[in-house]
C-alpha cells in the first residue's frame, strides 16, 4: 500500500499537549505547508498511477551511469565528496581494475543479487548486486578476502545508517573460522583503531549505506546530532578461543565451524568502572543498566574473556543465558523512572495503551512501584571480546537484529543451498521485520 509522509516540528518527545497541538496547526518543516492540511489531503486524495505502481528499482552504485568520465585523481576524489558518496574520510577510488580484483574474493558473478533494502521515507525498494558491494569494499580499503563478510551484511537488507531523528548506530560481530583467516582482531584493542580488517569492514558497511541512499538529508536521513560510532559501527570478532561460554553464533543455532556475521542496533555504550569481583559486579551492572532506556528489554553486554571467566568460576554463571536471567530478575527500577524516559514514552507507551503486556500492567502502577525492565532474558546478548589485560566489560542498549551466513558468499552456491531470490533472504526478511518493530 502506498504511503504518504508528513513531518511535524521537533522535538515531539516530552512536549506538553499545548505544544503538540501547536505543531498540528503549524508547518511541516520539510515542505513549509500546514501540517494538518497535509495529513487530511494525504488521507483523502486518490492515489496517482505513479504512487500505485511498484517502486522496485535497480540503482547502480554510484547513482547515475556505471562509469565516470576519465579525470584526475584529485578531481575524482572531489567529485565523490561533493556528491555525498563518502563518509567524509579519504577513500580508495573504485577503478575497474580494483573492483575486478575485489570480486576475486567471491565465487558469485558481479550482477548476482546480493540483497534488498527498503527506504521507508522515499518508498523505494533497493536491489543491490555483488558489484555494488565490491565498489564500497574498494572505497573502504578492504581486501578481497573481506568481501564475503560484506556480502553477508548486504544480504540482510539492514543499513548501518538508520532513517530516524535519533542517534542510532550499528554494531557487527563476526563468528567462526573466517575471523582468523582474514586477520580480524578479537583480542587486545578489538574495538579500537588497531586492525585493518575490523576498521575497513565496519567502515564499508557505512559506505554501502551512504551510497545506497540512506544519508540523503531530510529524505532518508533525519538524525539531529548523529553518532560517531557510525564511522565503523563497532565492528569486532568474538574471542571464541578464550571464552568460557559458547560463542554467540552457537547460541543462535549455528555450528561452530560456520562463519557468520551478526548485526545489532542501538546508540549507547557504557564502560565498566571497576573489575568483575565477587561483591562488586552485580551492583555495578545494576547502576549501568539502570542508566539505559531498557527499550523492549534489549541490551548487549561485551565481556573481556577474563571477566567472563570470573563470572563463571566465582559467580556460577554457566551460560550466557544465566547472565540474562540474573539481569532480568535482579535489575529493578521505579515505574516512574521507566516511563519518564523519552524513548520509552515515545516507543513503548503506544504498546501499553494497546494492551501489550507487561507494559499495559506497568502503566497502571504507582510511580514508586518497582518493575523489572529487562523482563526477557533471551534479549540480553552476551559477547566475549578482549585481550585479557583487565577483567572489564561494556554495557549497551544495542539490540540484536539478525545473523547472516558468510560461507555461502565465499564460493559458488552448491545445489540446494539457500540463496538470494526475488523474495529476499531469510536474513533480510528478519531485518525488515525487526525494523518494523
Residues 110 and 232 occupy one common structural domain = yes
Residues 137 and 241 occupy one common structural domain = yes
Residues 39 and 20 occupy one common structural domain = yes
Domain of residue 34 covers 1-53
Residues 129 and 161 occupy one common structural domain = yes
* Cβ pair 62, 68 in contact under 8 A: yes
345-350: Cβ within 8 A, 24+ apart: 345/13, 345/14, 346/12, 346/13, 347/295, 347/296, 348/295, 348/296
Assign residue 392 a region (left: φ > 0; alpha: ψ between -120 and 50; beta: otherwise).
beta
Q: How far apart are CA 16 and CA 187, in angstroms?
A: 48
Is residue 393 included in any domain, yes or no?
A: no
pLDDT at position 342, please? Answer: 81
pLDDT at position 430, please? Answer: 38
10-residue mean pLDDT series, the chain (437 residues): 79 82 89 92 88 60 64 92 90 95 95 84 79 95 97 94 82 97 95 93 94 78 80 95 97 96 92 64 86 90 95 93 95 94 87 95 96 95 95 93 95 46 38 35
By CB atoms closer than 10 A (0-12, 13-18, 19+), residue 104 is: exposed
Q: How far apart are CA 232 and CA 169, in angstroms?
A: 9
Is residue 164 included in any domain, yes or no?
A: yes
Q: How far apart are CA 289 and CA 267, in angstroms?
A: 14
pLDDT at position 291, please? Answer: 86
Residues 38 and 183 occupy one common structural domain = no
Residues 46 and 58 occupy one common structural domain = no
Q: E strands along 43-103, which residues?
A: 56-58
Q: What is the largest CA-CA distance in the chain?
A: 69
Is residue 329 included in any domain, yes or no?
A: no
Pairing of strands 299-303, 380-384: parallel
pLDDT at position 276, please? Answer: 52
Residues 101 and 15 occupy one common structural domain = no
Domain-terminating residue out of 20, 38, 53: 53
Residues 237 and 221 occupy one common structural domain = yes
Residues 105 and 7 occupy one common structural domain = no
Residues 36 and 77 occupy one common structural domain = no
Is residue 386 included in any domain, yes or no?
A: no
Residues 176 and 192 occupy one common structural domain = yes
Residues 10 and 72 occupy one common structural domain = no
Is residue 392 included in any domain, yes or no?
A: no
Is residue 116 included in any domain, yes or no?
A: yes
Is residue 391 included in any domain, yes or no?
A: no
pLDDT at position 275, please? Answer: 59
Give the number of domains in the chain: 2
- How many helices, marked H, and strands, marked E, lie in the chain? 18, 13
Is residue 369 included in any domain, yes or no?
A: no
Domain-terminating residue out of 10, 26, 53: 53
Residue with cell 565492528: 235
pLDDT at position 412, please? Answer: 58
Amino acid at each position: 500500500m502506498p504511503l504518504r509522509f508528513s513531518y511535524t516540528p521537533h522535538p515531539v518527545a516530552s512536549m506538553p499537549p499545548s505544544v503538540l497541538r501547536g505543531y498540528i496547526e503549524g508547518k511541516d518543516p520539510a515542505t513549509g505547508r500546514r501540517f494538518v492540511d497535509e495529513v487530511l489531503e494525504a488521507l483523502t486524495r486518490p492515489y496517482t498511477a505513479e504512487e500505485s505502481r511498484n517502486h522496485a528499482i535497480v540503482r547502480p552504485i554510484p547513482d547515475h551511469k556505471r562509469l565516470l568520465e576519465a579525470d584526475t585523481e584529485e578531481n575524482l576524489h572531489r567529485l565523490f565528496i561533493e556528491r555525498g558518496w563518502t563518509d567524509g574520510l579519504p577513500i580508495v577510488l573504485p577503478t575497474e581494475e580494483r573492483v575486478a580484483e575485489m570480486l576475486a574474493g567471491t565465487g558469485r558473478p558481479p550482477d548476482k543479487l546480493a540483497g534488498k533494502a527498503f527506504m521507508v521515507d522515499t518508498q523505494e525498494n533497493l536491489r543491490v548486486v555483488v558489484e555494488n558491494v565490491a565498489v564500497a569494499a574498494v572505497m573502504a580499503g578492504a581486501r578481497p578476502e573481506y568481501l564475503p563478510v560484506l556480502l553477508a551484511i548486504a544480504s540482510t537488507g539492514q543499513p548501518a545508517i538508520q532513517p530516524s531523528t535519533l542517534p542510532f548506530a550499528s554494531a557487527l560481530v563476526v563468528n567462526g573460522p573466517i575471523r582468523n583467516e582474514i586477520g580480524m582482531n578479537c583480542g587486545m584493542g578489538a574495538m579500537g583503531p588497531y586492525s585493518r580488517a575490523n576498521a575497513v569492514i565496519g567502515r564499508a558497511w557505512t559506505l554501502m549505506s551512504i551510497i545506497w541512499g540512506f544519508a540523503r538529508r531530510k529524505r532518508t536521513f533525519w538524525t539531529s546530532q548523529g553518532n560517531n560510532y557510525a564511522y565503523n559501527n563497532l565492528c569486532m570478532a568474538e574471542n571464541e578461543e578464550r571464552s568460557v561460554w559458547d560463542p554467540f553464533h552457537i547460541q543462535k543455532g549455528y555450528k561452530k565451524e560456520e562463519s557468520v556475521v551478526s548485526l545489532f542496533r542501538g546508540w549507547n555504550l557504557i564502560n565498566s568502572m571497576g573489575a568483575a569481583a565477587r561483591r562488586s559486579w552485580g551492583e555495578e551492572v545494576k547502576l549501568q543498566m539502570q542508566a539505559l532506556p531498557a527499550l523492549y528489554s534489549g541490551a548487549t553486554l561485551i565481556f573481556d574473556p577474563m571477566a567472563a571467566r570470573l563470572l563463571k568460576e566465582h559467580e556460577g554463571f554457566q551460560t550466557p543465558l544465566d547472565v540474562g536471567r540474573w539481569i532480568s530478575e535482579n535489575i529493578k527500577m521505579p515505574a516512574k523512572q521507566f516511563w519518564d524516559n523519552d524513548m520509552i514514552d515515545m516507543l513503548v507507551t503506544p504498546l501499553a495503551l494497546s494492551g501489550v503486556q507487561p507494559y499495559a500492567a506497568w502503566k497502571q502502577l504507582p510511580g514508586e512501584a518497582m518493575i523489572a525492565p529487562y523482563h526477557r532474558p533471551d534479549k540480553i546478548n552476551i559477547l566475549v571480546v578482549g585481550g585479557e589485560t583487565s577483567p572489564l566489560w561494556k554495557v549497551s542498549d544495542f539490540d540484536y537484529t539478525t545473523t547472516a551466513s558468510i560461507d555461502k558468499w565465499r564460493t559458488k552456491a552448491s545445489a540446494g543451498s539457500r540463496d538470494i531470490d526475488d523474495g529476499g533472504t531469510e536474513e533480510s526478511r528478519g531485518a525488515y521485520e525487526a525494523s518494523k518493530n
